Amino acid sequence: MKKVFNISIVIILSLFINCTEETIDLVGIGTITGRIVEVKSFNPIENAKITISPTNNTVFSDADGYFTMEDVEAGDYSVSVIKEDYLTNFEPATVTKGLTVNVIFEMEDETALNRPPSAPVLITPADGIEEQELSVELIWSSKDPDEDTITYRLEIKNANNNNLIKVESIIDTSYVVSDLKYGTKYFWQIVANDSINSEVLSSVSSFKTKVNPENRYFYVQKSLNNNNVIYSSSYNDETSEAENVVQLTLDDKNSWRPRKNQTTGLIAFLRTYNNEAHLFTMNQDGSDIYKVTSAVPLAGINLNEIDFSWSSNGDRLIYSHYDKLYLINKDGSGLQQIYKTLDGSYITECDWSNDESMIAIKTNDITGYNSSIYTINMSGTLLKTILSGVKGAVGGLNISINNKLLVYTYDISEFESPNNRQLDTHIFLYNIASAIRTDLSVSKENGTIDLDPRFSPNEAEVIFVNTSNDGVSIRSIYKIDVNQDNERALLFLNATMPDWE
């Protein structure tokens, strides 16, 4: 009986063992493979940690981003990837007996969920406001939703030349910009950066600084692109410094020879237009530029030497076109020829007396020499010959308000050359009644020349340009007393074509 029982136990155990082996074989095993890459560049990511749940089996990606997990029991898994500087990634995977399941992970930078700061809002000064001081506090606001530190960049342009000024790494939401120019429109913008996301730009706002109505000096300086640019300025006699400098014309326009009329407040000047020199006018702040001449431009041997003149009440101007002198209304109407040289010589400079009874004229031949200075009346009748038949360069006419005096320049070296170089040019004060000439350049340094003289408003001084006679050095504007005290005062460095009204 016991023997039969033992046999039964063996049979039952054998059946149980056989049933157990068949159950394990039904679950089976498979393989998980895959690759880890960057989401944008698809570059492989090495040494990423890959883990399957719930078994927590782990492998690492190779140099090409690939990984393999073998002998994984069939079933559903969650596969995770962890790598420093990247967001943890999860993908589902179903393992099937005897098969390989492939999983691709595109990893995002750990900052991918970070949000950028808000676009800066420009608060002060209000957009379009005018009459601002030369020091302005700019105020704006911006917030970062992730409370990241924001740094700002300020960008400022001005309407005169579009030069861009950048102020980097501003932490506060305000900044004081100083040393602005009078009468200039500025555009400003703020750029916010949280060092994670792309920069965020504000809108563009503008403001304009106030115009200084006291500026009485006008002159020309060269821009970086070699154009002539007109400026106005005041001058502090106590500090011997220029103040309140205002750029009146744009860098991309060639503008020169400013002449202000006190009655109208307008500034007449020359500008290149369609490869010709034309007369223009503008307000004292450089606004409302108006083209006066059209059919007959200004013309001569050297356009930089050509000069014109206002009538005293500012309603008309006179100017030259080769051997002819023209009169034109300030609005461009009423053009008429009022004089023509008898010998065909070119009229380079002219000046109209305050009472409009006399016009001083400087002529030269096609070489720029063989110059003459004389006066005529409005009918073209010769009144007086001041200079004639001399060798060397002549220029710079200006009549005193009472018609008694005339200033001009003359190269006493009598040097002449194809490029019209001057060697020893002096300023002379000529008494029209007595014909006495007074040399105002006795204090001039050797090797320099004096050019473009004009009376000061009270006619006690003469403003002029001095430069080396080498023809390439900078030119600067000085003033000197007409009583020959030999005191020269430097007014404006690297400036030419002065006007003092």
Q: What is the CATH T-level fold of the domain 2-107, as seen in this structure?
A: Immunoglobulin-like (2.60.40)
Q: Which long-range contacts (CB under 8 A, 24 or more apart) does 176-179 make?
A: 176/135, 176/136, 176/137, 176/138, 177/135, 177/136, 177/138, 178/134, 178/135, 179/134, 179/135
Backbone angles phi, psi at 385, to 5 degrees: -95, 125
**What pLDDT is stored for residue 25 in this prediction?**
47
**What pLDDT is stored for residue 2 in this prediction?**
42
Q: What is the CATH T-level fold of the domain 217-500, as seen in this structure?
A: Neuraminidase (2.120.10)
**What pLDDT is stored for residue 26 in this prediction?**
54
Q: Which H/E stretch holds residue 25?
A: helix 2-27
Handedness of CA 480, 482, 485, 486 (dihedral sign): positive
**What pLDDT is stored for residue 484 in this prediction?**
66
- Residue pair 311/354 in contact (Cβ under 8 Å)? The answer is no
pTM over 0.75: no
Q: pLDDT of the chain along its 501 residues, tens only?
A: 444 444 444 444 444 444 444 444 457 999 999 999 998 889 999 999 999 999 999 999 999 999 999 999 999 999 999 998 888 899 999 999 999 999 999 988 877 778 889 999 999 999 999 999 889 999 999 999 888 899 999 999 988 877 888 999 999 999 999 888 888 899 999 999 998 888 999 999 999 998 876 799 999 999 989 999 999 999 998 898 998 888 999 999 999 999 999 999 999 999 999 999 999 999 988 889 999 999 999 999 999 999 999 999 999 999 999 999 999 999 999 999 999 999 999 999 999 999 999 999 999 999 999 999 999 999 999 999 999 989 999 999 999 999 999 999 999 999 999 999 999 999 999 999 999 999 999 999 999 999 999 999 999 999 999 999 999 999 999 999 998 677 899 999 999 999 999
Domain boundaries, given as residue ranges, for the chain: 2-107, 121-209, 217-500
Cα 144 to chain centroid, rounded: 32
**What pLDDT is stored for residue 430 in this prediction?**
97
User: Which residues are bridge partners to 234 per DSSP?
Assistant: 243
Please state which CATH class domain 121-209 belongs to. Answer: mainly beta
**What pLDDT is stored for residue 87 in this prediction?**
84
Give yes or no on whether 2-107 and 121-209 have one common fold: yes
